Amino acid sequence: MMDVKKEEKQETWKNIQVLGQGAFGYITLWMNQASNEKIAIKTCRHKEEMPDKTWERWKMEVFIMSRLNHDNVIRSVAVPPQLQPGKDSPPILAMEFCQGGDLRKVLNKPENCCGLKEFEIRQLVAGVGSGIEYLHSNRIIHRDLKPENIVLKPIDGNKTLYKIIDLGYAKELDINSICNSYVGTMQYLAPELLVGKAYSKTVDYWSLGSLVFECITGFRPFLPTLPPVEWHNVVCKKSPDDICAQYDERREIRFSKKLPSSNQLCRPLQGFFEQWLRLMLRWDPKARGGGIIQMEGVERPKCFCLLEKIIAVKIFHILHVEENTVLSFTVTDTHTIEDVNQAILHETVIPLDQQYVILADGLRLEAQALAVQSCSDSNTEDLMVFLFRSGPLQLQQKYNKKKLPLAVQAIVKEPNTLLPAKEHRKAWAQAVHWCTEISREYKRLVSAFRAALLHLLRNNSLILKQKTQMISDIGKLMACKELFQTSLDFDLQQGREVIKTSERIYQQWTEMARTINSFNDLKERVENLDNKVQTFSGEITDLQRSPVGKINQNMELEEFETKAKALYGELLGATQGTSGEGSRDMMDHHRMVDLIGKCYMKRDELTRNLYKQLSKVLDVQQRLEPLIPELNMSEGEIEAASKQLKSMQCHRQKDVWRLLKNSETHRAPGQNVEQETFSLATLNNSQNSSLFDRFKFNSLSSNLESIKLIDECQTNAQRLQEMVDTMVKEQAESLEYISTQDSITR
């Protein structure tokens, strides 16, 4: 008994918030006080309090929800025992709670007044399209698809699940049958519903197309402010491929087959979505959606097959840093960076040999690398790839400056003029959006600057390592050269008479002496190259210390964005409930215009300084790159000199042994080489010792001195190696610091 009571206590649910009110009753949020689990409870008024049709709709929704199971359709859950309705009470519906709110709230944010970001659009159409196709496959038409009936459930990172809710108007039927009941919300209704004609599942296509168009552009496609009858009479005149209608400057209606330019889709995706919207927004319900096609042996509506291809397409985004514009190209699994370079050439006319493509971490992309490996994640807006032009950066007012929207230009020109509430809110929303875009574009440039600096640091680190090896190798070479030269000079001096007995050996050894003297020139070139590398390291250190591109500068533009949003919030409070002419108490435009002006000036100042510093980075990079072949050449010369020195030593040893062999004719009978070597010192002090014996002894002494010289050179080389290793370590720490700062900013 005690265990049962304890279990009941753990399952206590508490009503913590009213989420909204629908046609049937209230939707409330409940939380399990033991586990903190949250669910949404949708209740219905008693049958006596509502019409029979509404009661039937409620029962249908509960029935439909009980048997659906799809990630993009709201999931029903078991009603907790504590909340079970009484015997005579209407059923209740328990559903998973989606804390992201509904899509309408997202679209109403001022930063989304010109449409959602590209990665959000792709997530949205993937989820909602899949959900609608699932409902249709289960013989269910939603009939009331709109932003208010799409809720968001954030999951891993930036990914969001979009879920279809409110199946109160959904109807279960044979998927090929038609209906003629009038349901749904006016703004998203298919044309046939407005005039009471029979309809089928294609009404959801029109609603889905209208919803996606609004998410892309920020407004509905066909003159949403017109009354229904007038709207129907105007829009019915559109061609099958028209996807929107707007008023032009002369207040004349213009139909278009293209998306308006005020959206955040890249050009390739704009083309794909225009093709898809032409299928979804057909006036003829039979032609809408493109009909049924067979794909991989399965019959599916053409519109969903096309949507699946759009979602799967891979887009290669690259920031053209010189102009601060994003270039976008569709790529397949077989396309390489070389193919992308060709597309860049066509788009920008930058020659292939001048294109410099690097990743955010500073790595340069090789021509044969697969392009898909560097595509941005479809669930994020972060850019991974940056395009620079090799050579001096010419930026005199060349970089892209985002223009003010027309509505914002109007309030800047006449800040004292009050607008109707709706136009007033629109102008301010576009001002917030402009500030948001300015901040985002500057962040992109900062990322490009850091990528260029990281690339420079990587190259410098490689050059330092190569230079370290070069210094070590030249030190070893010069030590061997000194040993060889000391021995050779001593032999030439002490054994001149013996060596001159062989003219060929004397000439060869003399030529060797001249050859190894040329090694001094190589050493001088290496020292000059070492000085160049040290100079560049100092310049790079200064670039790292520059305050340009730091995190606090990002915050300066973000502050303007935050302040603009706060002003917009005040405006919403002042104009709430006002849809017509604005009242005289409504806020004028002065504070918003002042904010825009300051943001504009700060943007120009920061961008100008950033490009100036970026030019220095690219200039150092351009001057640093030629050092790589110089280092390679020096390494090759050192290696060749070492081989040459080794070869000369071998020839010299052969000559010595040849002289020894020739001297055997002058050796006493029975005296062997070991005895001769053992008695070198004695022979050297003897008045009767031969000149050749003295030459052999002195050569041995010179070799001992040379060995001692080698030890000293090796010690100095080791000390030099330790100094360079310390420098390389400091360079690596700087590289790691820059990478850390880049990840913090993201």
Provide the residue type at 387 as one letter: L
Task: Say which range, 78-87, 104-113, 595-604, has the weakest mean pLDDT.
Answer: 78-87
pTM confidence score: 0.79
Burial class (CB in 10 A: 0-12, 13-18, 19+), 594: exposed
Q: Both tokens of residue 354?
A: 């001048």
Q: In the sheet where 355-359 sits, what is the strand order? A: 325-331, 314-320, 385-389, 355-359
Q: Identify the pLDDT of residue 478.
A: 87
Residues catalogued as catalytic: 144
**Other CB atoms closer than 10 Å to residue 100's CB: what's the count?**
16
Residue 217's pLDDT band (boundaries 50, 70, 90)?
Answer: very high
Span 304-322, pLDDT tens digits: 999 999 999 999 999 999 8
Query: For residue 355, what are the contacts with CB-CB under 8 A and spacing of at least 6?
Result: 341, 344, 345, 387, 389, 390
Contact predicate 181/191, CB 8 Å:
no
377-400: b (≥16 Cβ within 10 Å) or e: ebbeeebbbbbbbeeebebeeebe
Burial bucket for residue 277 (CB in 10 Å: 0-12, 13-18, 19+): buried
How do residues 78-103 score in pLDDT, each as one tens digit? Answer: 888 888 887 777 788 889 998 888 99
* Exposure of 704 in the CB half-sphere (CA atoms within 13 A): 5
Cβ-count burial 695-717 (b if 16+ within 10 Å, e if not): bbbbbeebeeebeeeeeebeeeb
**Do residues 285 and 192 make contact, with C-beta atoms less than 8 angstroms apart?**
yes
Task: Quickly list DSSP for 617-635.
Answer: HHHHHHHHTTHHHHHHHHH
Is the CB of residue 518 less than 8 Å from the CB of residue 477? no
Quickly state the pLDDT bin for 552 (edges 50, 70, 90).
Answer: low
Chain mean pLDDT for the chain: 80
Region 368-380: what's the mean pLDDT? 82
The closest alpha carbon to 302, from 294, 311, 310, belongs to 294
More confident residue, 639 or 175: 639
Q: Look up residue 285 and give its two tokens.
A: 């319900």
Instruction: Identify the band that residue 716 occupies on the pLDDT scale cut at 50, 70 and 90.
Output: low
List, in order, residues 6 or more apart from 598 with CB less than 8 Å away: 560
Stretch among 127-136, 194-203, 658-667 having the lowest mean pLDDT: 658-667
CA angle 202, 265, 71 (to 5 degrees): 50
d(CA 518, CA 611): 46
Q: How confident is the model at residue 580 (pLDDT cuts 50, 70, 90)?
A: very low
**Token reading at 141:** 């038409």
